[in-house]
Structure 1
Amino acid sequence: MGAVRRVVSYLGLGDGEQYDESYEYEEYEDGRMPASERAAMRWAANGDLARILMIRPQKYSDALTVGRHFREGQAVIMDVTGMSLADATRMVDFAAGLTYGCDGRIERIADKVFLLAPADVEITTT
């Protein structure tokens, strides 16, 4: 039994039979492609060397810059050491939501320094 089917059954919303169909991702109802697929396509189409962008936001409104680069498929190192504790916390919360929404990962690599990796980037540790 799939996860969606179990949740639907648990909540008493039906038997979940309609969720067992396979999905066709080429045709979207609203003409939009999920962000993770857009990022993967941009990343795969780029034959250049992979780059990691280092961003040192100073205020929470710099989240737009972080989000734009990450959604374009770039890995981002975000250093929030120059921010107040409240803004740094908000920025990390934003980054966690951004990576979750785009099927990426966020890893703490140092004190107040985080790596935001797109879905197609593998992070390994030794």
Structure 2
Amino acid sequence: MGAVRKVVSYLGLGGVEPYDEPFDDEHYEDEYLPAAERAAKRWRATVESSRIVMVQPLKYNDAPMIGQHFREGQTVIMDVTGMPMPEATRMVDFAAGLAYGCEGRIERIADRVFLLAPAHVEIETT
């Protein structure tokens, strides 16, 4: 073997050795999906649920409870009328980020009352 071939072989630039086992594409198919589709699959509920949860947070520390229900695929109605305005604003900002990050939607349905709908829930307005 010549010196050039030895260097090429040493650097791993030589020919490709065939694998003994076939490559399993199904295991890696999610890696080649667009980011939005991967996120939707990750946050999709395992069981289609028609449960709607009504939450009336009194302080911003109640935000994880809202996030947990929403990530489980449940529709959440969030009523922030009992919160001071600065905390209510923070809570709505949190809910909007949660809905955006999980490919869902947030809709204002009344004064200081909001609907958080997961990606699999369709909202119709008439």
Structure 1 gaps of 5+ residues are 1-23
TM-score, length of structure 2 as denominator length: 0.68
Give the residue type in structure 2 aligned to 1:54.
Answer: M
Q: Distance in 1 between matches of 2:106 and 2:123?
A: 10
Q: Distance in 2 between matches of 1:105 and 1:99?
A: 5
Indicate if the aligned counterparts of 2:30 and 2:38 stay in contact, CA closer than 8 A. Answer: no
Q: Deviations over 1:57-106 (max 9, x none)?
A: 00000000000110111000000000000000000000000000001000
By how many angstroms is 1:108 displaced?
A: 0.2
Secondary structure of the residue aligned to 1:54 is: strand
| Residue of structure 2 equivalent to 1:77 | 77
Query: CA RMSD for the aligned pairs?
Result: 2.0
Structure 2 gaps of 5+ residues are 1-27
| Residue of structure 2 equivalent to 1:39 | 43
By how many angstroms is 1:40 displaced?
A: 1.9
By how many angstroms is 1:41 displaced?
A: 4.0
1:25–1:83 distance in 2 versus 1, CA, 3 Å: farther
Q: Distance in 1 between matches of 2:88 and 2:29?
A: 36
| Residue of structure 2 equivalent to 1:61 | 61
TM-score, length of structure 1 as denominator length: 0.68
Larger radius of gyration: 2
By how many angstroms is 1:114 displaced?
A: 0.1
Q: Distance in 1 between matches of 2:62 and 2:38?
A: 24
Instruction: Give 1:1-126 correspondences, 5 Å limit.
Output: 26-27=30-31, 34-42=38-46, 45-46=47-48, 50-126=50-126
State the identity %: 64
Indicate if the aligned counterparts of 1:107 and 1:116 stay in contact, CA closer than 8 A. Answer: yes
1:78–1:98 distance in 2 versus 1, CA, 3 Å: same
By how many angstroms is 1:25 displaced?
A: 5.0
